[in-house]
């Protein structure tokens, strides 16, 4: 897939403002500072499309981007220790509302830092996605921080953590662009399945209306 354009749409803080879109919706989640916004910039080939920060917990809203063939939602990061209890609760509610909203999420890119084992929050997130049958891919970020030979090993270790195969764990570096092609390949596949299903539903509807 070639990303031809990517534009910021809006930031949303309440469920009543969640977008209803007629394109596949891809969400990016992961703990604060894992590199969600950086990955968006990397995919878009833009430096400042999504705001990145050295201070964790900067993205507290759902930020929507139009990537042409799909809409991308940058979700607020979790697991940031210095955030108050009330704020954590608000985050949890927002996420739950996002995933249970009428606008179904087509696929989630769930980010973890390739250098570290997933945290309890990461495991909870994946269990949540599993539980609600939301398709996801684990993306191990900051791959430039470890040697190339370690990348393969870490993908397998992270996969084991979530009880998923290492083929479901993609390694990426937003800094060097390493692994970006694999993510785009995955999205290509996700979008083609979405379109096939979409047209199948349309065809079924047509048949019904003829009866
Ligand atoms: P929140 O919005 O706070 O949840 O963070 P985020 O997940 O959006 O992280 P963000 O993209 O802002 O990146 C956090 C920090 O990690 C920044 O200093 C980035 O420059 C750095 N970073 C992100 N991706 C990479 C990467 O692939 N390699 C390296 N070396 N640094 C990265
Ligand atoms: Mg961010």
pTM of the predicted structure, to 2 decimals: 0.91
d(CA 113, CA 22): 32
Q: Is 58 in the pocket of ligand 1 (CB under 6 A)?
A: yes
Residues 6+ apart with CB under 8 A from 174: 35, 38, 39, 41, 42, 141, 142
What's the 120 CA to ligand 1 centre distance in angstroms? 20
| pLDDT tops 80 at residue 81 | no
C-alpha to C-alpha distances, 23 to 36, 49, 69, 150, nearest whole angstrom: 21, 20, 7, 37
Mean pLDDT to the nearest integer, 64-92: 85
CA gap 123, 95 in Å, rounded? 15
**pLDDT tens across 5-41, in order?**
999 999 998 889 999 999 999 999 999 899 999 999 9
Rounded to the nearest angstrom, the distance between the alpha carbon of 114 and the centre of ligand 2 is: 17
Average pLDDT score over residue span 70-99: 84
pLDDT single digits (tens) 47-58: 889 887 666 555
For the CA of 176, the closest atom of ligand 1 is 27
Residue of the nearest CA to atom 22 in ligand 1?
35
At 56 the pLDDT is 57
CA distance 143 to 176: 9
Distance 55 CA to ligand 1 centre (A): 9
Comparing CA positions, the residue from 101, 135, 132, 75 lying closest to residue 19 is: 101
Q: pLDDT per residue over 144-177, tens digit each?
A: 999 989 999 999 999 999 999 888 899 999 999 9
Q: 113 pLDDT exceeds 90?
A: yes
Reported confidence tier of residue 200, pLDDT bands at 50, 70, 90: low
Burial class (CB in 10 A: 0-12, 13-18, 19+), 146: middle
Find the ligand nearest to 79 CA: 1
């Amino acid at each position: 897939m070639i990303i031809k354009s990517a534009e910021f749409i809006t930031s949303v803080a309440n469920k009543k403002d969640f977008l209803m879109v007629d394109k596949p919706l891809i969400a990016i989640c992961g703990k604060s500072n894992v590199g969600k916004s950086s990955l968006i910039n990397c995919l878009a080939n833009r430096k400042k499309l999504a705001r990145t920060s050295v201070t964790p917990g900067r993205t507290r809203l759902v930020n929507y981007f139009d990537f042409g063939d799909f809409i991308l939602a940058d979700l607020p990061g979790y697991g940031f220790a210095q955030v108050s209890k009330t704020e954590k609760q608000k985050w949890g509610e927002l996420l739950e509302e996002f995933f249970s909203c009428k606008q179904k999420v087509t696929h989630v890119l769930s980010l973890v830092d390739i250098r570290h084992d997933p945290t309890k929050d990461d495991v909870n997130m994946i269990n949540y996605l599993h539980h609600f049958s939301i398709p996801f891919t684990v993306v191990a970020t900051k791959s430039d921080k470890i040697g190339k030979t370690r990348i393969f090993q870490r993908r397998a270790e992270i996969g084991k953590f979530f009880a998923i195969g290492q083929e479901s764990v993609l390694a990426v570096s937003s800094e060097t662009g390493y692994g970006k092609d694999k993510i785009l390949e995955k999205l290509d596949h996700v979008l083609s399945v979405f379109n096939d299903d979409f047209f199948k539903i349309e065809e079924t509807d047509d048949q019904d209306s003829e009866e």
